[in-house]
Amino acid sequence: CGATTGYDAKTDLRHIFFKGTNILGSTQGTKAELEQGLYWMGKKKIKAVIDSVHSFENAAEAHTKMLTGKGMFGKILMKP
């Protein structure tokens, strides 16, 4: 996944163009940014926005909600 297997991704670009494929990427930030975020969370100055919490038994329902995005605002969490 990502650049963990190397930085040179060999692909035939025609497959991407003809299929109209979208390529989307993201990063997790730096270690310093993570530490700063955890610091402020510990001080209760910022918090995660949680949309809903689902059991593993309701994983399909949570997945559907995530895919449709209907009425969703925040993170969808799974718990055992």
Distances (CA, A) of 19 to 5, 11, 22, 46: 24, 14, 9, 41
Chain centroid offset of residue 51 CA: 14
Q: CA torsion sign, 57 to 68 to 75 to 20?
A: positive
pLDDT by residue (tens digit) across 43-62?
999 988 999 999 999 999 99
| Res. 2: pLDDT tops 70 | no
Q: Tell me which of 25 and 3 has the higher pLDDT.
A: 25
pLDDT band (50, 70, 90) for residue 14: very high
d(Cα 48, Cα 66) in Å, to the nearest integer?
17
Residue 29 in this model has a pLDDT that exceeds 80? yes
